[in-house]
Chain A
Amino acid sequence: MGLYPLPISRFSAFALLVLFFIAAPLVMSEYYLTLLSLVAIATVGALGLNILLGYAGQLSIGHAAFMSVGAYTAANLATKFDLPFLITLPAGGLMAAAIGIIVGVPSLRIKGVYLAIATLAAQFIIEWIINHSPSISGGAQASIEVARPTLLGERLDSPTELYYFLLIVAVVAVIATQNLVRSRVGRAFVAIRDQDIAAEIIGISVFKYKLYAFAISSFYAGVTGVLYTYYLGIASYEQFQLGVSIDYLAMVIIGGLGSVLGSVFGAFFISLLPIAIRLVMENVGSLFVEPDVLAQSISQLRQILFGVLIIFFLIVEPDGLNRLWINVRNYFRVWPFSH
């Protein structure tokens, strides 16, 4: 039980598992389960980006492009060779990891803003290549329909079954990341992030570990893409454009850089934000403005709020929601004695 040294954290991890595996499907309607499924998918992607940006300190604006690599790999394997998701899922991840290594190679020579712009270029170039290669993208629509995943001969058709499937993958991803960041590799990432020259001097091969970071992060992104594909039933490059990369950047920044729990917080926050805005606007906003104006202003309001939140967290709480959580926890840990 090295992952959870304290009894209280063992207990809360267990309680969360019970909550999401048993209580949530019993209590929630299918609509809310599909929302939680989206959060589960986003969690995997946010963990991947947090490994790269939060732990290894390498900025990537092309995270969604790696998702599209995973998505199209899995979709092609599933439709052309009729492979089950137990094979297409890791295959999509591995393909994305391979592309991630190629994109990561320049990170040896360039960093900071140059790396950001290079990964931005990767986003456009990967998107263009997929879109213009009919053998990858499946013809004029550039989208491939995929059947629901089957497990032990049973198709996961209902939202509840799909929710369990996505939740298991997300839990595996969380535990794998927690293990990764306390391993030799994870500590090497942190050393490179904090001072790359010092890391090189104490014997960490910076090049090797930067490529590891890109490969692992892209693997997560590829898996995320595969999950989106199975969730939506279709692989389409429109699901993985620049805006999605930025959504994931916002998740790790608002959630908390260099924190596994923060990635989960960020995934919850950013995935549910548009739905929360819509709920509030439909119930409160309809009192003030016409319905058709309202429908239009919801997407605009989402963008504004999204931007404001990113800037707010950057300026006021750079460590994100995770820091807020730690503050609350520390307050109650010693409560009622504040010192």
Chain B
Amino acid sequence: MSGNMAFAIELFGQGVANGLMYSLVALGFVLIYKATDAINFAQGEFVMIAGIVISALASAAYEFPLWLALFAGLIFMIVFNIALERVVLRPLIGRPIVAIIMATIGLAFILRGIGPMVFGAAPRGITLPIEDYPVIIGPFFFTPIQLLGAGTSILFLLIFGWFFLKTRKGVAMRAVADSHQVSGAMGINVERYFALAWVMAGIVAMLGGVLWGSASGVDTQLALVGLKVFPVVILGGLDSIIGVVIGGIIIGVAEALAAGFIDPYVGGGTKDFTPYVLMIIMLMIRPYGLLGRKLIERI
């Protein structure tokens, strides 16, 4: 029994670390939803394209130093997302939600096609200048990339939290999220803040691309991390930044425990399945999530 317990504790640590990295990806989704009410089904593909661009630039073909590749990736994601908001999302403002969902799904297809077409389909890695021996903290056991990922996630969640609470732009953005019309009437340039939200999502996706890319390699499979976004944001609440942390940790721990304890009995696959079961339960009892605003219409 104590062996099981130790195993559970170790899985718990793994789950928290992975969960925080999910939070980072989900944060991009929440930033966009919070400000623009748009549902982004392509967040995983954003992560993928950022990973592909950075790994390609850092690879033998282009031989960029790592810092330059990261910087170029960041610039690419910012420019790309500004263009995206301008060309695709802005004409769809005010259209039914299915139109926006389908547009981002279409975008996901485009990114999945363009990434391998331009930079080649072979899997690559992103090598960060960190040691690769495991780190043991108390009963827990982490790889350095997990610690770096968890640390980056917490840092950026804090930065965005500070941004929304303390800065002038952040307050304006919350006003835009609250009501597009009222904030427009108060002299806020709503469309500029829409663009800003997409840019922030691009920055977060770039970080996610680097972290997930160096943890699990870069190819089109990297986009699958986007499928974890929905359970995380439904659990935490679609428009809550703290909810993203909580949702991410819950999902990370749940899938680690499921993979450790249930997989041997059912023959695998529970890692992808458990988050969605949790999400369905949450949708049944509290559709707006643990910390989301209660904006559910009822009939």
Task: List chain A positions with a Cβ less than 8 A from chain B.
Answer: 53, 59, 106, 108-114, 116-118, 120-121, 124-125, 128, 131-132, 196-197, 200, 206, 246, 249-250, 253, 296-297, 300-304, 306-311, 314-315, 318
Q: Chain B 69-112 against A: per-residue CB contact (8 Å), 1 yes, 0 no? A: 00000000000000000001001100101110111011111111
Tell me if B299 counts as interface (CB < 8 A to partner A): yes
Of the listed stretches B4-12, B156-164, B193-201, B278-286, name the one at the interface; the rest are far from the partner chain. B278-286
Q: Are B108 and A314 in contact (CB under 8 A)?
A: no
Tell me if B25 counts as interface (CB < 8 A to partner A): no
| CB-defined A-B contacts under 8 Å, sample of 7 | A116-B98, A117-B283, A128-B273, A302-B113, A304-B114, A310-B102, A315-B91
Q: Are B110 and A307 in contact (CB under 8 A)?
A: yes
Known pairs A114-B287, A200-B299, A318-B99; A120 contacts B230 (CB<8 A): yes
Q: Chain B 259-299 against A: per-residue CB contact (8 Å), 1 yes, 0 no? A: 00000001101001100110110011001000000001111
Known pairs A196-B299, A303-B113; A113 contacts B283 (CB<8 A): no
Across the interface, name the chain A residue whose C-beta is closest to B111.
A307
Known pairs A206-B299, A303-B109, A310-B109; A117 contacts B269 (CB<8 A): no
The interface residues of chain B lying within 8 Å CB-to-CB of A113 are: 39, 97, 101, 238
Known pairs A109-B287, A113-B39, A301-B113; A314 contacts B102 (CB<8 A): yes
Other than the given A59-B101, A311-B103, 9 more pairs (CB < 8 A) read: A109-B287, A117-B283, A120-B276, A121-B230, A121-B277, A128-B273, A303-B112, A310-B102, A318-B95
Q: Are A117 and B110 in contact (CB under 8 A)?
A: no
Known pairs A114-B283, A315-B92; A308 contacts B110 (CB<8 A): yes
Across the interface, name the chain A residue whose C-beta is closest to B115.
A300
CB distance from B222 to the nearest CB of A (A): 16
Q: Are B297 and A106 in contact (CB under 8 A)?
A: no
CB distance from B114 to the nearest CB of A (A): 6
Task: List chain B positions with a Cβ less than 8 A from chain A.
Answer: 39, 88, 91-92, 95, 97-99, 101-103, 105-114, 116-117, 121, 227, 230, 234, 238, 266-267, 269, 272-273, 276-277, 279-280, 283-284, 287, 296-299
Q: Are B39 and A116 in contact (CB under 8 A)?
A: yes
The interface residues of chain B lying within 8 Å CB-to-CB of A310 are: 102-103, 105-106, 109
The interface residues of chain A lying within 8 Å CB-to-CB of B230 are: 117, 120-121
The interface residues of chain B lying within 8 Å CB-to-CB of A246 are: 105, 109
CB distance from A204 to the nearest CB of B (A): 11
Pick the residue among A118, A206, A308, A315 that contacts B280 (CB under 8 A): A118
Across the interface, name the chain A residue whose C-beta is closest to B273.
A128
Among B39, B109, B227, find the residue whose CB has the most chain A CB atoms closer than 10 A.
B109
The interface residues of chain B lying within 8 Å CB-to-CB of A132 are: 266-267, 269
Across the interface, name the chain A residue whose C-beta is closest to B238.
A113
Across the interface, name the chain A residue whose C-beta is closest to B266.
A132
User: Which 7 A-B pairs have CB atoms at the shortest separation, nearest pair first?
Assistant: A307-B109, A310-B106, A303-B113, A304-B113, A307-B110, A307-B106, A300-B113
The interface residues of chain B lying within 8 Å CB-to-CB of A118 are: 280, 283
Q: Are A124 and B109 in contact (CB under 8 A)?
A: no
Q: How far is the CA of A128 from the CA of B39 in the complex (A)?
A: 25
The interface residues of chain A lying within 8 Å CB-to-CB of B298 are: 109
Q: Are A110 and B283 in contact (CB under 8 A)?
A: yes
Q: Are B284 and A106 in contact (CB under 8 A)?
A: yes
Q: Are B110 and A304 in contact (CB under 8 A)?
A: yes
The interface residues of chain B lying within 8 Å CB-to-CB of A53 are: 98
Known pairs A117-B279, A132-B266, A302-B113; A314 contacts B101 (CB<8 A): no
Across the interface, name the chain A residue whose C-beta is closest to B233.
A117
The interface residues of chain A lying within 8 Å CB-to-CB of B91 are: 315
Q: Are A109 and B296 in contact (CB under 8 A)?
A: yes
CB distance from B286 to the nearest CB of A (A): 11
Across the interface, name the chain A residue whose C-beta is closest to B116.
A300
The interface residues of chain B lying within 8 Å CB-to-CB of A116 are: 39, 97-98, 101
Q: How far is the CA of A125 from the CA of B269 in the complex (A)?
A: 11
CB distance from B64 to the nearest CB of A (A): 24
Q: Are A110 and B287 in contact (CB under 8 A)?
A: yes
The interface residues of chain A lying within 8 Å CB-to-CB of B111 are: 307
Known pairs A125-B280, A315-B88; A249 contacts B113 (CB<8 A): no
Q: How far is the CA of A44 from the CA of B91 in the complex (A)?
A: 32
The interface residues of chain A lying within 8 Å CB-to-CB of B117 are: 297, 300-301, 304
Q: Are B102 and A253 in contact (CB under 8 A)?
A: yes
CB distance from A93 to the nearest CB of B (A): 24
The interface residues of chain A lying within 8 Å CB-to-CB of B269 are: 128, 131-132
CB distance from A63 to the nearest CB of B (A): 13
CB distance from A130 to the nearest CB of B (A): 12
Pick the residue among B108, B234, B266, B272 that contacts A124 (CB under 8 A): B272
The interface residues of chain B lying within 8 Å CB-to-CB of A121 are: 230, 276-277, 279-280, 283
CB distance from B45 to the nearest CB of A (A): 10
Q: Are A306 and B287 in contact (CB under 8 A)?
A: no
